[in-house]
Amino acid sequence: MSSRRRFIAGSAATLGLGALPGTAVAADAQAAPAAAGTGSAAAPTRPPNLVVVLADDLGRGELGAYGQKLITTPRLDGLAAEGLRFTDAYSTAAVCAPSRCSLLTGLHTGHATVRANPSGAQGSLTAADTTFAQVLRARGYRTGVIGKWGFGPESADQDSHPNARGFEEFHGYIDHGHAHQYYPAYLWHNGVKEPIAANAGGAKGAYAPDLLRQRALDFLDRHAAEPFLLLLTPTVPHAPSDVPAHGAYASRSWSAADKGHAAQV
């Protein structure tokens, strides 16, 4: 398995976007003649593929790369060892919806459309909000978001839906309430609710994080030959922290809130 697939298969962190050469620039470079006297065409510039992973409620103190020693986070620790570790970085907000809004739009929270978590109606993006996915699609990228979107309303064909905000592929949860279900009766695929038969009637037969992880791997495979953006937004480790099993942590004397609620199947 490639390092990228291994990363998607078990990771949860936020990655920043680096400098991005445009696809139009790449096309110009590919078609441009060589500089005088070289006798060969200039090498094309391939825009980088981008994977942005936003874990729900994961704090830096829960990662081994930042000193945590009670649980193992080997994939993320490996990313830190091979890349960058941020030690003086701050979120735009302390809660989910406004921080997601700022991440997607690049706006300070004071200028953003969504400034608080829902205490009633779910906060929504508008037709005036431009996300980085819209910018990348305009530059020739294939774009997908898989997991929790985090804005309402929970319906298709509206301005706050991922498909309307630059993501041509969407699999997962639209709003907060639905995203708190680890064994949901359905997940969204673009503008359609897709039932999960294994979870019908309250059964716990299909763990949503596993389904969404496979969707992410499929997205990478289908678009490997072209520039792509994947925004992967797992709900783990957000409460209620339902897990299929406690595994290596079964013998720990932690509270249910810390340990997670193992499914009874």
Under-70 pLDDT residues of the chain: 1-43, 264-265
**All structural domains of the chain with their residue ranges:** 50-79+124-240
The model's pTM is 0.83
What pLDDT score was predicted for residue 1? 44
Tens of pLDDT along 214-263?
999 999 999 999 999 999 999 999 999 889 999 999 999 988 878 888 87
CATH 3.40.720.10 describes domain 50-79+124-240? yes
Give the burial class of 128: count Cβ atoms within 10 A of its Cβ; 0-12 exposed, 13-18 middle, 19 or more buried: exposed
What pLDDT score was predicted for residue 46? 84
Token code pair at residue 121: 């109606």
